[in-house]
Amino acid sequence: MRHPYPTEGIEIVMNKTLLVMLHEIRTTLRRKSFTILALGMPLVLAIVALIVMAVNQDASSAPPASTGSGTIGAARQKAEGYVDEGDLITVLPTNVPPGWLAEYPDEAAAQTALEAEEIAAYYLIPADYVASGEVTYVTPQHNPISNDVSTDGIEWILLVNLLGDAELAADVWDPLDVKVTALESASSEAVEESWIVELFPTLMVLVLYMVILLPASVLVNAITDEKKNRVMEVLMSSLSPQQMISGKIMALGLLGLLQTALWVGVLWAVVRFGGRPLDIPAGFSVPTGLLVWAFIYGLLGYAMYGAQMAGLGALAPDVKDAKGASFVILSPLIIVYMFTVGILVAPDGPLALVLSLFPLTAPVGMIARMTQTTVPLWQAVLAAALQLLTAMLIVRLVGRLFRAQALLSGQPFSARRFLGALLGRA
């Protein structure tokens, strides 16, 4: 097939690609919707989060509603009652504070005393307590958040009366006075359990999704805009499809990295200045190697999915027609998200291996694996190489969509047209 474009030197090819890239960056930054979503939303979220954290901090620092103690024998602040339907309690242990607990013959009497504010609450112990274990604590109000209920006292009394021996009950209540000897392991670095250690794999996966999906979705809009403005066919007289696609993919990739950096920076600022320090335990750090691979896989993943979305934008008459098809294109990422738990639980298993090597799932799959285990270097390199080849193949295939008859047809989008155009049959 006669090449429609004149042979050009590599410098001219690169210049045109860079020109497209710079133009795309300028145009996207000038678009109000991008400025609002990319810059405005993180800032608004940060302000809302800081206000909410300040409000919540006031709420959590308020004195608790009651000073109910969880220790046995500690002085109780409020008088309480009990109804023992099975006559299990025959003796009160000597360490029970005097005046704390009063017995009532039935629930009606206890309820009357509660309503008259003679007692703050009462316990209802059924006749079948030994079999069922059920005890009801009746109180006018209860807030589970402030945890103002402690039933250690009544449980201690019940245990003493069940066993009939206070000394035995004390042994059963607290059987071991444990001296802990934590040995240092030669192989592992002990890192304190913390929220960031638990959430780190999920956070890495989420950041990768942002890096791949945010700019890819903007790419569809960028292509369809130029189609609507009829600028596309004018450009095609001076540029090759590969130059155009490469320039747009590079531009939106950079802007996507900027967006991601903004979101991560805002999140860090909110946690840092929101009144609660990050509380990162000693010994925790993000491995440099993981960050490097995450950067590489993020870019490669964006190249693969961005190119596919660009092709979608080239074929669909309008962005809303591309919605359903974009779901199909993104389905490998959705699948790997659903299997993330499987990867994290068994990072060296067959499922994790497949998802970390298959190009369309590798960007997220491999990083999820790397957060849990040491992946052999050859596997990481192989996954990156496969992704690079796939990205190049997709960019070449998608370039076929940027032909006049495909761009100008205005026909409704369908999967058959999309595949046919990719294979050069449209």
Partner 1 sequence: MSKVWLIAQHQFRQEVSKRSFLLVLFSLPLFLTFTIGFGYLASRLEQESSTTLGYVDQAGLLVRTLTEPEDDVLLVPFETKETAQTALETGQIEAYYVLAADYADTRQAELVYFEQPHYYATRHFQNVVRLNLMADQSPAVVDRALSGAKVTVRATESKRNFPAGGPSAGQFVPLIAAAIFTFLVLTTSGYLMQVIVAEKENRTMEIVVSSVSPTQMMSGKIIGAVGIAVTQLAVWLAFLAGAAWLGGSLLGIGWLQNINLNWRDILTIVMVALPSYLFIAALMTTVGSTLVESQEAQQAGALFFFPLFLPVYLVLPIMQNLNGPLSLGLSLVPLTSVTTMAIRSIFMEIPAWQIALSAAVSFVSGIVMVWLAGRAFRRSMLRYGQRLKWRDLFGTRRMGHGFSR
Question: Number of residues in contact with partner 1, rule: CB under 8 A?
Answer: 75
* CA–CA distances in Å: residue 344 to residues 51, 188, 212, 366: 35, 19, 21, 11
Query: Is 117 one of the binding residues for partner 1 (CB under 8 A)?
Result: no
Query: Is 116 one of the binding residues for partner 1 (CB under 8 A)?
Result: no
Query: Is 179 one of the binding residues for partner 1 (CB under 8 A)?
Result: yes
Tell the smallest beta-carbon distance from residue 120 to partner 1 (Å). Answer: 12
Q: For the residues of 56-99, what is the DSSP string, one character each?
A: HHHHHTSPPS-----STTPPPSS-EEEEETT-------TTSPTT
The Cα 212–Cα 205 span in angstroms is: 11
**Closer by beta carbon to partner 1, 172 or else 354:** 172
Can you give the C-alpha Rg of the chain in angstroms?
33
The Cα 415–Cα 413 span in angstroms is: 7
Query: Is 209 one of the binding residues for partner 1 (CB under 8 A)?
Result: no
Options 206, 290, 318, 379; binder of partner 1; rule CB under 8 A: 318
Tell the smallest beta-carbon distance from residue 409 to partner 1 (Å). Answer: 19
Query: Is 178 one of the binding residues for partner 1 (CB under 8 A)?
Result: yes
Which stretch in 43-51, 196-204, 288-296, 395-403 sits in contact with partner 1 by CB under 8 A? 43-51
Q: Based on the number of CB atoms within 10 Å of its own CB, is 226 exposed (0-12), middle (13-18) or buried (19 or more)?
A: buried
Query: Is 130 one of the binding residues for partner 1 (CB under 8 A)?
Result: yes
Query: Is 180 one of the binding residues for partner 1 (CB under 8 A)?
Result: yes
**Closer by beta carbon to partner 1, 114 or else 204:** 114
Options 1, 9, 30, 60; binder of partner 1; rule CB under 8 A: 60
Which stretch in 4-12, 90-98, 333-341, 361-369 sits in contact with partner 1 by CB under 8 A? 333-341
**Closer by beta carbon to partner 1, 58 or else 87:** 58
Query: Is 44 one of the binding residues for partner 1 (CB under 8 A)?
Result: yes
Looking at residues 268 to 297 of the shown chain, list those that interact with partner 1 (rule: CB under 8 A).
none
Tell the smallest beta-carbon distance from residue 329 to partner 1 (Å). Answer: 13
Options 338, 350, 377, 405; binder of partner 1; rule CB under 8 A: 338
Nearest CA-CA partner of 333 in 250, 252, 212, 418: 212
CA neighbours closer than 13 Å in the CB half-sphere of residue 59 = 8
Options 22, 43, 75, 172; binder of partner 1; rule CB under 8 A: 172
Nearest CA-CA partner of 264 in 328, 211, 338, 321: 211
Options 13, 342, 388, 403; binder of partner 1; rule CB under 8 A: 342
- Three-class HEC string of 287-324: CHHHHHHHHHHHHHHHHHHHHHHHHHHHHCCCHHHHHH
Options 6, 98, 99, 175; binder of partner 1; rule CB under 8 A: 175
Looking at residues 354 to 393 of the shown chain, list those that interact with partner 1 (rule: CB under 8 A).
none
Query: Is 61 one of the binding residues for partner 1 (CB under 8 A)?
Result: no
Looking at residues 217 to 246 of the shown chain, list those that interact with partner 1 (rule: CB under 8 A).
221, 224
Answer whether 367's CB lies under 8 Å from 204's CB: yes
**Closer by beta carbon to partner 1, 272 or else 320:** 320
277 CA to centre of own chain:
20
Query: Is 419 one of the binding residues for partner 1 (CB under 8 A)?
Result: no
The Cα 319–Cα 225 span in angstroms is: 9
CA neighbours closer than 13 Å in the CB half-sphere of residue 383 = 29
Looking at residues 131 to 150 of the shown chain, list those that interact with partner 1 (rule: CB under 8 A).
131-147, 149
Nearest CA-CA partner of 207 in 165, 163, 265: 265
Tell the smallest beta-carbon distance from residue 59 to partner 1 (Å). Answer: 4
Q: In what order do the strands lie in the sheet with 101-103?
A: 101-103, 80-84, 121-125
Looking at residues 5 to 34 of the shown chain, list those that interact with partner 1 (rule: CB under 8 A).
33
